[in-house]
Chain A
């Protein structure tokens, strides 16, 4: 989902940066507030950030014959809410832009928007919907993480289609092309991300039940304690 350095026209680069900056700032504020209220949640925040570090470094093969990587943002979005993930994603993307020439500074705003804002918001919304539809906790976590991952790549496709509309077919034709590259490749990876998130969440439920309760996350197993 990384849009390469310099590959967004100036106006788009600035626009996406302006859109992302306040969310990252608000996310920092949310994290500070949550940690101040419940210092014991620091460990959980660390796990969520570490999960994003691992997953976004893993480039996995897909059935389309190209490689891409999961985002790992769904876990944090379910635990701490979508805005808290924005600064975490920003750190990862900044590291990759500066050290790896993967993504870039001019495209940082757009990449933060897709990976650390659009995806996490989709994940958190999916989780709420799934839980209010009385789906089991594990299924809700799986759906949230997978759809959040997939939506990140759909967002990237939208951003590129907006910047480079097809001369004949316009936005729609261009979107189909980019989605063919990104979203299609991402489907098996999104499923993998869903499974991996459930595995980590299972461990959290087992070992950190009190912290989860203080985040008001209902795992459906409260009665057992």
Chain B
């Protein structure tokens, strides 16, 4: 069990991501013929909730720089994840090698 723990946990994470994709169905377009978008960001939903609670609220500050398109923003998000994953990969690789060398030394 302990041996397979990480594999099982990874499988569960994948399951938790896939199940919503499979369960949530796109609702039929509304009377105005507009497609209802699903899996949009919760941050955007909160923004809409603010405008239903306080319709007269106007944001008083604008972002200094906005990614010109969705593609560019996904590029930057991928960059952020790659930096993190790169470091974790480096650490894991060097750790495995270190453990291997240690084992070989103790054998000799």
Contact = CB atoms under 8 A, between A and B. Distances in A.
Interface of B: 5-6, 9-10, 12-13, 16-17, 19-21, 23-24, 38-43, 45-47, 49-50, 53-54, 57, 59-67, 73, 76-78, 80-81, 83-88, 91-92, 95-96, 98-99
A6 B83 contact: no
Interface string A101-122: 1101110000000000000000
B77 A100 contact: yes
B61 A105 contact: yes
Question: Top 7 A-B pairs ranked by shortest CB distance?
Answer: A6-B59, A53-B84, A54-B84, A207-B95, A101-B63, A6-B61, A50-B87
Contacts of B59: 4-7
Interface in A183-211: 185-186, 188-189, 191-192, 195-196, 198-200, 202-203, 206-208
Nearest to A200: B88
A98 interface: yes
A59 B41 CA distance: 8
Contacts of B24: 61, 63-65
Chain B interface SS verdict (over half): helix
Contacts of B41: 59, 66-68
Interface string A19-44: 00000000000000000000000010
Interface of A: 1-7, 9-10, 43, 46-47, 49-68, 92, 95-102, 104-106, 138, 156, 160, 164-167, 174, 177-178, 181-182, 185-186, 188-189, 191-192, 195-196, 198-200, 202-203, 206-208
Contacts of A101: 63, 65-67, 73
A47 B90 CA distance: 10
